[in-house]
Amino acid sequence: MDLFESRSAISTFLFAKSPVEAVDLAFVFCSPTLSSIVPAIALYHAGMTPRLLITGAGTAIDGSPEWSLYRAHAVAAGVPASAILVETTARNSFENAAFGAAMIEKELGWRSVRSIAVCAKPFHMRRAIMTLRQHIPAEVRLVAQPPSDPGDLAADTWWQTPEGRRRIFAELGKISAYALKGDLSDV
């Protein structure tokens, strides 16, 4: 396998994306910047999801908790607060998935959630899906909906900068660590 094929294989694996479709819930993995909420807001405004679940207790770029920045942005964009569930304690992807899935079961019940749009950074999408799959019923369909933000790493350019390469190889390492702990499921 040459360098081009290796980069292509990494991109294909990490940067999962599904066609847009109607779902029962948009599940948003927070990060310090806002781009991951954008697909969820778009789905809501298109009438393709009735609710959002925002999860993440990290620190956003403005110093606030990620969930708070994401929720405020969604509400400012016209999503009613009543359509937003917020999980405020998760500090990593495993906790996002575990705590978010528990909230879905408690607040909505799995009978009313048969499909989920997974909204996460493009390069983080594979781990987000594989981690979430570990915590939700097998019959729930997962739809990868990453943002298309120019500030995020892209599948066709990540290798062009040292920072891009560092972040991608760190993500591959995190997938390996999660897999060794048994925190991932096949998708």
Residue 103 tokens read as 């909230």
Q: What are phi and psi of 39, to 5 degrees?
A: -65, -35
- DSSP E strands: which ranges in 120-181? 141-144
Q: pLDDT digits over 73-126, tens only?
A: 999 999 999 999 999 999 999 999 999 999 999 999 999 999 999 999 999 999
Whole-model pTM?
0.97
CATH T-level fold of 8-181: Rossmann fold (3.40.50)
Helix (H, G, I), strand (E, B) or coil at 79: coil
The per-residue pLDDT for range 52-63, each reduced to its tens digit, is 999 999 999 999
Q: 3-41 pLDDT, tens per residue?
A: 789 999 999 999 999 999 999 999 999 999 999 999 999
